[in-house]
Amino acid sequence: MSDIETTAEAPEETQAPEETEAPAEAQPAADDNQPVDVAKIQSILESNLGARMRTWLSICARCGLCADSCFFYLAHDKDPKLSPAYKIKVTLGEMYRRKGRVDRQFLKQAKEIIWGQCTTCRRCSMFCPFGIDMATMFATARAVCNSQGVLPAGLARTKQNIIESGNQMAMANEDWIETCEWMAEEWGEEVAGLEIPVDVPGAKYMYTVNPREPMYYPQDVGMMAKIMHCAGESWCVPTEGWDCTNLAMFCGDKAAAAIPVRNMYASAQKLGVQYILMTECGHAYRSGAFEGPYFLDIPGGKPPVPVKHSVQLFLELIKSGKIKIDPAKRLKEPATVQDPCNVSRNAGLWEMLRELSLLLCEDFRDMNPNGAYNHCCGGGGGFIPMGPEYKRRRMQSGKVKAEQIRATGAKVVISPCHNCFDQLGDLNKEYKLGYKVLSFKELITEMMIVPEHLIPREEDDDDAQGGEE
Amino acid sequence: MRELYEFLSGTGVWIAFVVFTGGLLARLAFLAGLSRERDKVVYNHFDGGWAWRSILHWLLPLGSVSFRQQPLFGIAFWVFHAGLLVTPLFLGAHNQLFAEAFGWSLPTLPDRLADWMTIAVMAAIVFLFARRLARPEVRILSTAWDYALLIIVLAPFLTGFLAYRQIGPYELMLNLHLLTGEVMLVVIPFSKLGHLILFFFTRAFIGSDMGARRAIEGRLGARTW
């Protein structure tokens, strides 16, 4: 693992290695004739046909107000076939209308819409007079397709990893812990006494990550250790349930989506921590804080241990003075912040993103629209792990975000989400926008003042004895 | 014609009101029962304040970001709905019938005002119909039934207006007015017009879910209006 480069630059293709892509894509058209399990489809449709679903399906006024809210629609010259209501009508609406009696070809066409034309960002729900929760409807349509094995190959692979190993990249727990040890050692050179505590009962925070951090960006783990250590926070990482992401959620697979949250909650409860702390990742927070309890059928619908996103903690630490930012190191270049849908609109943290940005940047410029009204970057809802097959579409629909960023003139885009991070990197190249994408923890570790007593002494430096007590 | 009038203004009205009220109540009861078992998320995160604001803002003219983006539609929409509810309920002639039948009536609108409101409702319906045809994103969603519903709602206003102005054969117009009004009432519980009641529930849900549910521990909730 030691040969991994860790820079702010996103790798050419992100997520799982892509060499395996070509054979996996070669799905012969012949399997169109494979029968579908209609009874299974009917049972999924039936079990999701609650009061809300019935109401939504029956009262859509077909007013078209949702169209303008959708970035797929806006990015494609207002193609009416990309309005959310239309996409529902020809997928889930059709499944219910035909009472589940659909064929494989229909499911394959539906797949291109429910995954290829929607990131379940929930912006449309804010613009619908009835507040129809279209993301939930798309999730049901995804569940139907998923039940017949019709889903983007990239997501199917990731889901398999989760089922087999408990995390999306099939990383062994030992490798995760080893990465933590390696990072503790490396970052220990920068901060005296730095460690990454493992499985500490009664710690305040149990820190969970996106597996691509230990896999491709191990420095991210080191950065967090620096922040936590300098702030003097009580924290640990768990040996199990350390993956806070949940791409099975975007497959519409409730059973598989329950696996990572069950592991994570179980570790937090076993250790008796006060909070599950999450890395800068959007969908992980949506899963852990909001949807996870429903995958596990937890009465009351709340996580058993409160979940905190990194940006919440960072803001607390800086405001309380536990972490001090060197004013001279604040970002001079024009900067903007990307509102990840699952951090801003769907989790209510958008003001915190701005407070934090203003503390770190001298020239902060907001996008328009922003906050709860932000546009999805185009990489959410499972789009990034859907891989190269969908990349062209991802770049086209990302036009809305690219234009938004261009209008700010920002040279730095801060992204507290891994999916946004990758998408923004790709958009940067595609639209030649010339910005850098950074996470908050990268900025903070760069700008923070390491407390005097934590500055490592050079052992063979003779002058150093003067500082001894 | 006279017997038809007797039927439509007597038994017909009763049937229409019973089907209208009973249908809506039955639909509501069915959904409420179903929701207890299958929509726990609604009860888990319900919040009165967020629900109320999520409803109110969509009732006020141009009270939502969404409608402010299409202000002409927003105004036509509001005039249509307000006129649709207020005009028949507070019309002098209707309340005269209430008084004769039940011995009570509601306060009434001056006839001239009601007349203008009727015209406004009809104009709004024509606008909504035209919008359905003109905007590609609305046209692609619209079914024959969506157009038919607009006509079903237009019909009692048009016939009532013509009868009041004594344009065309009065008795026929009056019978058509009764008939179309009754058809509209009967259709409401069994169509998307059920949003007359269901609107309040879907809005309360989304307002609570995207608002209150996310607005704890220092976080904000998204306003769905």
> For residues A147 and B89, what is the distance between their CA atoms, to the nearest angstrom?
51
Q: Measure in Å the smallest separation between the Cα of A338 and chain B Cα atoms.
A: 17
Peptide bond into A17 cis (omega under 30): no
Rg, Å, chain A Cα set = 23
* Residue owning tokens 């629209």: A369
- Which residue, of A151, A176, A210, is where some domain finishes? A151
Partner-chain residue, chosen from A54, A127, A348, that has the shortest CB–CB distance to B214 = A348
- Whether the per-residue pLDDT at A259 is higher than 70: the answer is yes
Q: Are residues A94 and A162 in the same domain?
A: no
Q: Is A354 inside any structural domain?
A: yes
Q: Is A267 inside any structural domain?
A: yes
Q: Are residues A376 and A408 in the same domain?
A: yes
Give the amino acid at A60.
Answer: C
Q: Are residues A125 and A171 in the same domain?
A: no
Query: Structure tokens of A143?
Result: 């569940």
Longest dimension (CA), chain A: 82
Dihedral sign for Cα atoms in the order B154, B83, B26, A53:
positive
Spatial CB neighbours of B124, under 8 Å, sequence gap ≥ 6: B76, B77, B79, B80, B83
Partner-chain residue, chosen from B146, B218, B220, that has the shortest CB–CB distance to A350 = B220
> For residues A255 and A18, what is the distance between their CA atoms, to the nearest angstrom?
26
Q: Are residues A209 and A137 in the same domain?
A: no
Task: Identify from A44, A121, A130, A312 which residue to disrupt to test chain B contact, counting B C-beta atoms within 10 A and taking the largest count.
Answer: A130
Q: Measure in Å the smallest separation between the Cα of B2 and chain A Cα atoms.
A: 38
- Amino acid A10: pLDDT: 38
Confidence of residue A30 (pLDDT cuts 50, 70, 90): low
> For residues A452 and A459, what is the distance between their CA atoms, to the nearest angstrom?
16
What CATH number does residue A130 fall under? 1.10.1060
Confidence of residue B217 (pLDDT cuts 50, 70, 90): confident
Q: Measure in Å the smallest separation between the Cα of B70 and chain A Cα atoms.
A: 8
CB contact under 8 A, B35 and A61: no
Q: Measure in Å the smallest separation between the Cα of B3 and chain A Cα atoms.
A: 37
Q: Measure in Å the smallest separation between the Cα of A50 and chain B Cα atoms.
A: 5
Q: Are residues A288 and A185 in the same domain?
A: yes
- Amino acid A221: pLDDT: 98
What CATH number does residue A399 fall under? 3.40.50
Map residue A441 onto helix, strand or coil. Answer: helix
Tens digit of pLDDT for each residue in A137-172?
A: 999 999 999 999 999 999 999 999 999 999 999 999
Chain A positions touching B199 (Cβ under 8 A) are 59, 129-130
Q: Is A5 inside any structural domain?
A: no
Asked if residue A278 lies in contact with residue A307, where contact means CB atoms within 8 angstroms, the answer is: yes
Question: If DSSP states are collapsed to H, E and C, what string results for A386-419?
Answer: HCHHHHHHHHHHCHHHHHHHHHHCCCEEECCCHH
CB contact under 8 A, A348 and B221: yes
Contacts of residues A74-83 at CB distance under 8 Å and 24 or more positions apart, as own/partner, are: A74/A375, A74/A400, A75/A378, A75/A396, A75/A397, A75/A398, A75/A399, A75/A400, A76/A396, A76/A397, A78/B136, A78/B137, A80/B136, A80/B137, A80/B139, A80/B140, A81/B140, A82/A117, A83/B137, A83/B140, A83/B141
Tens digit of pLDDT for each residue in A392-408?
A: 999 999 999 999 999 99
Q: Are residues A179 and A232 in the same domain?
A: yes
CB contact under 8 A, B224 and A131: yes
Chain A positions touching B58 (Cβ under 8 A) are 129
Q: Is A401 inside any structural domain?
A: yes
Partner-chain residue, chosen from A85, A300, A351, that has the shortest CB–CB distance to B141 = A85
Map residue A344 onto helix, strand or coil. Answer: coil
Q: Does CATH number 3.30.750 belong to domain B2-212?
A: no
Chain B positions touching A254 (Cβ under 8 A) are none
Q: Are residues A195 and A299 in the same domain?
A: yes
Spatial CB neighbours of A35, under 8 Å, sequence gap ≥ 6: A104
Q: Is A458 inside any structural domain?
A: no
- Which residue, of A257, A284, A315, is where some domain finishes? A315
Beginning with the edge strand found earlier in the chain, give each strand of the sheet holding A307-309 in spatial order: A235-236, A205-208, A275-278, A307-309
Tens digit of pLDDT for each residue in B109-128?
A: 999 999 999 999 999 999 99
- Closest-CA residue of chain B to A78: B137
Is the CB of residue A298 less than 8 Å away from at least one CB of chain B? no
- Closest-CA residue of chain B to A60: B192
- Which residue, of A116, A132, A151, is where some domain finishes? A151
Count CA within 13 A, CB hemisphere, residue B27. Answer: 24
Q: Strands A205-208, A235-236: parallel, antiparallel or unpaired by DSSP?
A: parallel
Q: Are residues A146 and A164 in the same domain?
A: no
> Which of A10-14, A175-179, A272-276, B147-151 is least confident?
A10-14
Query: Structure tokens of A390?
Result: 């969908």
Determine how many CB atoms are found less than 10 A away from the CB of residue A253: 23
Q: Are residues A293 and A396 in the same domain?
A: no
Partner-chain residue, chosen from A59, A301, A351, that has the shortest CB–CB distance to B194 = A59
Q: Is A10 inside any structural domain?
A: no
Map residue A307 onto helix, strand or coil. Answer: strand
Is the CB of residue A125 less than 8 Å away from at least one CB of chain B? yes
Q: How many helices (H) and strands (E) does chain B have?
A: 12, 0
Map residue A254 onto helix, strand or coil. Answer: helix
Is the CB of residue A51 less than 8 Å away from at least one CB of chain B? yes
Is the CB of residue A350 less than 8 Å away from at least one CB of chain B? yes
Q: Are residues A308 and A349 in the same domain?
A: no
Q: Are residues A308 and A206 in the same domain?
A: yes
Q: Is the ipTM of this complex over 0.90?
A: yes
Is the CB of residue A123 less than 8 Å away from at least one CB of chain B? no
Q: Are residues A242 and A280 in the same domain?
A: yes
Q: Is A9 inside any structural domain?
A: no
Confidence of residue A417 (pLDDT cuts 50, 70, 90): very high
Partner-chain residue, chosen from B38, B58, B139, that has the shortest CB–CB distance to A51 = B38
Chain B positions touching A81 (Cβ under 8 A) are 140
What is the span of the domain harbouring residue A292? 157-315
Confidence of residue A9 (pLDDT cuts 50, 70, 90): very low
Confidence of residue A3 (pLDDT cuts 50, 70, 90): very low
B182: which strand partners?
A: none
